[in-house]
C-alpha cells in the first residue's frame, strides 16, 4: 500500500466517523405553530376553549352581545395575516336551524363562495363550514379570506358560533392553531 492510498483511507475513515458522531439536526418550530396550549374558560358564558400559548383572549361586547376575541401574539399575524377569531354564544334567529344554515352555505352568496367543506352532524348539533370570501380593502385591493365557521347547538334557544378567519394567502401557516381554537370550543357549567 502506498502512502497516498493509506492517506485516502485514513481520511475517509476520519470523515465517516465525524459524520456518524455529529448530533442530529435540531428542528425548531415556529412559535405560532407550536402545539403547546392552555385551557381558557369564560365563567360568564360557560364556554371553554383551548388557546395556543402566547395568544390572548379578550371578552368584549359587540351589538349588545358578549363575545370572546382571540388575539395572536405577533403584530404581523394580526395585520398581514389579518387573523380574526371570535367565539360567541347567541340566540337563534327567527326560523334559523342548523339544516337551514347548511343549505345557505351550500351555494354562493355575493362575495362568499360555496362552502368547500361542510360537515353537518344533526345528532351532535354541530355544523362545520370551510369557505372563502372576498372583499375590497383600502379602496381597490381585493382580499380573499378563508373561514372556518362552526355552529354548535346548545339548546333550543342558544347556539355557540365560532369563526376563525385569515387571509387565504397566509391561512396555511396558521391552520392548525385556528382549527385548535375553533374545534375545541365547548360548553361547561358556568359558575354561580
Q: How many domains does the chain fold into?
A: 1
Distance in angstroms (rounded) separating the CA atoms of residues 181 and 170: 17
Flag whether 21 is in a domain: no
46-81 pLDDT, tens per residue? 889 999 989 999 999 888 888 999 998 888 777 778
Q: Write the burial class of residue 145 (CB in 10 Å: 0-12 exposed, 13-18 middle, 19+ buried).
A: buried
Inter-residue contact 119 to 128 (CB < 8 Å): yes
Flag whether 25 is in a domain: no
Flag whether 147 is in a domain: yes
Flag whether 4 is in a domain: no
Range of the domain at 175: 36-187
Flag whether 43 is in a domain: yes
- Whichever domain contains 130, its CATH number is 3.40.1000.10
pTM: 0.74
**Category of 111 on φ-ψ map: left (φ > 0), alpha (ψ -120 to 50) or beta:** alpha
Distance linking the first and last C-alpha atoms of the chain: 89
Flag whether 101 is in a domain: yes
Print pLDDT tens along the chain (192 aa). Answer: 565 555 555 555 444 444 444 333 322 233 344 458 889 998 888 889 999 989 999 999 888 888 999 998 888 777 778 888 999 988 888 888 999 999 999 999 989 999 999 999 989 899 999 999 998 887 788 889 999 999 999 888 999 999 999 998 888 888 898 999 999 988 887 665
Q: Write the burial class of residue 180 (CB in 10 Å: 0-12 exposed, 13-18 middle, 19+ buried).
A: middle
Flag whether 14 is in a domain: no
CA angle 141, 144, 146 (to 5 degrees): 155
Amino acid at each position: 500500500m502506498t502512502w497516498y492510498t493509506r492517506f485516502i483511507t485514513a481520511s475517509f475513515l476520519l470523515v465517516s466517523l465525524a459524520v456518524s458522531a455529529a448530533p442530529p439536526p435540531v428542528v425548531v418550530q415556529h412559535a405560532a405553530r407550536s402545539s403547546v396550549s392552555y385551557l381558557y374558560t369564560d365563567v360568564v358564558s360557560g364556554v371553554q376553549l383551548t388557546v395556543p400559548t402566547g395568544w390572548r383572549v379578550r371578552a368584549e361586547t359587540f351589538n349588545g352581545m358578549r363575545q370572546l376575541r382571540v388575539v395572536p401574539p405577533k403584530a404581523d399575524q394580526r395585520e398581514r395575516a389579518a387573523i380574526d377569531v371570535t367565539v360567541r354564544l347567541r340566540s337563534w334567529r327567527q326560523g334559523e336551524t342548523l339544516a337551514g344554515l347548511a343549505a345557505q352555505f351550500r351555494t354562493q352568496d355575493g362575495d362568499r363562495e360555496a362552502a368547500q367543506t361542510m360537515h353537518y352532524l344533526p345528532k351532535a348539533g354541530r355544523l362545520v363550514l370551510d369557505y372563502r370570501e372576498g372583499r375590497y380593502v383600502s379602496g381597490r385591493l381585493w382580499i380573499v379570506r378563508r373561514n372556518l365557521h362552526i355552529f354548535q347547538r346548545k339548546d333550543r334557544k342558544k347556539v355557540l358560533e365560532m369563526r376563525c378567519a385569515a387571509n387565504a394567502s397566509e391561512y396555511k401557516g396558521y391552520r392548525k392553531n385556528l382549527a385548535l381554537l375553533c374545534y375545541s370550543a365547548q360548553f361547561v357549567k358556568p359558575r354561580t
